[in-house]
Chain A
Amino acid sequence: MSAYPDDLQYTKDHEWIRVEGETGTIGITSFAQEQLGDVVHVQLPRTGEKFSAHDTFGEVESVKTFSELFLPVSGEVVEVNEALEDAPELVNNSPYGDGWMVKVKLSDKGEIDSLLSSSEYEDFVESQKVE
C-alpha cells in the first residue's frame, strides 16, 4: 500500500488532484509540505481564472523558502480555499483534507490519464530522495 492516498492522482511537481465528476480538487502532497516546512502564506488565484495544464496558479511560502504551484490539468477555477488565508498551517496539518487549495472545472478529463498514480508518485519521490 502506498504512503500516498490511492484515490488521488499526482504530478512530479508534488501536487495532487481528486477528480469528482467534472471537478478536480487540488493541493500539495504530504512530501511537498514536509520539504517546504511550516507554511506561512498561500497565494491563490481568483475564481473564474482559466489555466492550462502545468501553468503556475499560485505560490506557497514557508519559513525557509517559497515555491510556485503548478496546475496538474487545464481548467477554470471554481473555488479557492479561503480558509488558508488565515490558517496556512492547514497545508501542513492536513495536506489532503482541509489544506486543499483550489477546485477547478476540468477542460479535458483525458489529461488525468497522464498523471501519476499513488504508487508511481511514491516511486518518483523515493528516486528523488537524497541517499
Chain B
Amino acid sequence: MIKKASTHISQNEGTIFERSRPGRVGYRLPALDVDESPIESLIGRDLLRNDDLAGLPEVSEVDVVRHFTRLSTWNYAVDLGMYPLGSCTMKYNPKINERVSRFDGFASAHPYTPDELSQGNLRLIRELEVTLGEITGLPAVSLQPAAGAQGEMSGLMVIRRCLESRGNPRKIVLVPDSAHGTNPASAAICGYDVKTIKSNENGSVDLDNLREVVNQDVAALMLTNPSTLGMFEEHIVEVCQILHEAGGLVYMDGANMNALVGVTRPGDMGVDVIHLNLHKTFSTPHGGGGPGSGPICVTSELEPYLPFPRIVEETDATGLKTLRLDFNRPMSIGRVRAFHGNYSVLVRALCYILSLGPDGLREATETAVLNANYIAHHLMDDYEIAYHGKPLHEVIFSDKHQQKYGVHTLDIAKRLIDYGFHPMTIYFPLIVHGAIMIEPTESEGREEIDLFIDAMRSIAKEARENPDLVKNAPHNTRISRLDEAAAARKPVLRWIKPNDK
C-alpha cells in the first residue's frame, strides 16, 4: 500500500515562453521627464543585438511567481523525504549551516582583502584544514578543489610531482573494476596509463593479483574504501604495504568517507592521499548542483606539492599570532581553483563538524551504517543481496528475484516514485548485474526508513502478483514512463516557437 505519497496538487505548466503575451510587463515606470533619445545614439549600433531578443517572454510578476512555484511542485528534495541514492550520500543539509554561511563577515568577504583584514576568514580555512587533517589522519590539507573529481585530479598531480622529485614519475595507475568512473579519468588526465584490477568474489582487492601487477612502473593505486560495493577493504594495510614496498603511493577515493569518520582514519591505514566530498560526508548541499567541494588531505611528506597559496601562522615580536597566505611554494602543483575554493561551502562544512563535535560525528557514522544494515536485513528476503558480507553505509541488491516475472531494476525504481520516494541508484556499480543501490544516510529516522522498506516490499509483492503494474510505472506522476532511449537519441534541447517550427 502506498503510504507516504498521495495525489496532490501538481499543476501542469508549460515553458515560460508559452505564458508570454505581447506587451505584458511586471513593472510600471514613471513618465520620462527628459527627452527620449534613440538607443543607437547612446551606446552605438555595433553594440546592439537584434537576433532573438524579441523571443524573450513578456510576463507579469504573478505569471513568473506562479510559473516557478508550479514547477517547484514537481520537485523531489531531501526536505520532502528520504533520497536513497546509493553512492551519492544525499544526507540532509542542516539549516544552521545555511544561516552561518550567510553571516555578513563570511558572505561579503572579498578574496582580495589584505591578509591582515581577513584574519577571521583565514582562521576558518585554517581551522577546517586542521580538523579535516585530524579526521583523516593526513595532516596536510588543501581546500581548493571544487569537487571530488577535481580533488582526485589534484591528488594525482601531487602524487606525480612527488614521484618526479624522487626521480621517476612512473607510468601506471591501478584502479579496481568497482571504482567510480572518475578515477581512471583523473589518472589518464595526469598522463598515466590505467590498469584495471579485478575484485575478488567478496568485492575486495585480490592481494595475490595485486602483488603480481605492482612493479616499478606503478605510480599509485586508487582505492575507494569502503568500496563502491559498500564493503570495508579489510586488507587495506597490506594493500598499502604492497604499494609502498614497490615505491608507489596509495590514493584513497574518500567518496565513502561518511562510513569511517570518527571511527577510523585513512592516514593510520597507510594511505598517502585522500579527497573528501564535503557535499556528501560533511552535509553541504549537492541535490541542486552544489556547488561541491573536494579537499585533498595528504601526508606531511607530500605537503610541499599541495596547491598554493598555503596558510601559514606567524608570531610577531609581541607574541601576536597572525595568519598569512604563502605564495612561495616552489614545489607546488600550482593553483587548481581561484582563491580558496568554494568558500561558503567550507563555512557550512566546518559548521556541521563543530555542531556535531567528535562524538556526534562518530554517532552520525554509526547511524549511517546501522540504517543501511537495517534496510539490508529487512529487504534481503525480497531482493537478492549482491555481495554477502558486512555492508557499511550502503547496500546493493539485484533484480535477480524479480527477473522471472519480467520485472527489472529500472521498473522497480520507477515504481518507487509512486510510493513517494526518489528512486535509488540503479545499474551502478557496473560489476553488479541489475544493481539496486541504496544509501539511507544517518539523516533518516526509523519511521521514514520503515516507510521505505514497506514500499520496497510492496513493490516486490506487486512484481510477483501484478508485474505489469510495476513494468508500466510510474502511474501517479504528471507524466508516466518516459521513452528514455528517444530522449537520449533525439533530444529536444530548446523550446521553439510553434510558428518557427
Contacts and interface: CB of A to CB of B under 8 A. Distances in A.
Interface of A: 37-41, 63-65, 67, 88-89, 130-131
A130 B489 contact: no
B433 A40 contact: no
Classify the interface of chain A: helix, strand, loop or mixed. Answer: loop
Contact of B427 (A40, A64, A130): A64
Nearest to A87: B489
B32 interface: no
B9 interface: no
B179 to A, nearest CB: 14
B488 interface: yes
A6 B185 CA distance: 38
Contacts of B398: 130
A55 B408 CA distance: 32
Nearest to B399: A130
A59 to B, nearest CB: 11
Given A39-B485, A64-B409, 17 more contacts: A38-B484, A38-B485, A38-B488, A40-B485, A40-B488, A63-B488, A64-B410, A64-B426, A64-B427, A65-B427, A65-B428, A65-B430, A89-B485, A89-B489, A130-B398, A130-B403, A130-B433
Interface string B460-501: 000000000000000000000000110011000000000000
Nearest to A39: B485
B400 interface: yes
A41 B426 CA distance: 19
Contacts of B489: 40, 88-89
Classify chain B's interface size: 10 to 19
A130 B485 CA distance: 26
Given A88-B489, A131-B400, A63 B484 contact: yes
A41 B410 contact: no
**Leading 6 A-B pairs by shortest Cβ distance:** A38-B485, A40-B488, A64-B427, A63-B484, A65-B427, A40-B489
B427 A41 contact: no
A37 B485 CA distance: 9
Contacts of A64: 409-410, 426-427
B307 to A, nearest CB: 32
Contacts of A130: 398, 400, 403, 433
A114 to B, nearest CB: 21
A63 B400 CA distance: 20
A121 B97 CA distance: 57
Contacts of B484: 38, 63
Nearest to A130: B400
A108 B488 CA distance: 38
Contacts of B400: 130-131
B429 to A, nearest CB: 10
A65 B408 CA distance: 14
Contacts of B485: 37-40, 63, 89
Contacts of A37: 485
Contacts of A67: 430
A64 B426 CA distance: 8
Nearest to B489: A40
Contacts of A40: 485, 488-489
A130 B434 CA distance: 11
17 contacts: A37-B485, A38-B484, A38-B485, A38-B488, A39-B485, A40-B485, A41-B488, A63-B484, A63-B485, A63-B488, A64-B409, A64-B410, A64-B426, A64-B427, A67-B430, A88-B489, A130-B400
B277 to A, nearest CB: 22
Nearest to B483: A38
Nearest to B484: A63
Interface in B403-434: 403, 409-410, 426-428, 430, 433
A19 B221 CA distance: 39
B381 to A, nearest CB: 17
Nearest to B409: A64
A41 B410 CA distance: 19
B235 to A, nearest CB: 28
**Most chain A beta carbons < 10 A, residue from B409, B426, B489:** B489
Contacts of A38: 484-485, 488
B336 to A, nearest CB: 27
A65 B432 CA distance: 12
Nearest to B482: A63
Contacts of A89: 485, 489
A74 B426 CA distance: 35
A112 B430 CA distance: 29
A83 B430 CA distance: 28
Contacts of A88: 489
Contacts of B430: 65, 67
Contacts of B410: 64
A35 B426 CA distance: 14
**Most chain A beta carbons < 10 A, residue from B400, B426, B484:** B484
Nearest to A63: B484
Contacts of A65: 427-428, 430
Contacts of B409: 64
A127 to B, nearest CB: 14
A126 to B, nearest CB: 15
B228 to A, nearest CB: 14
Interface in B382-413: 398, 400, 403, 409-410
A131 B485 CA distance: 29
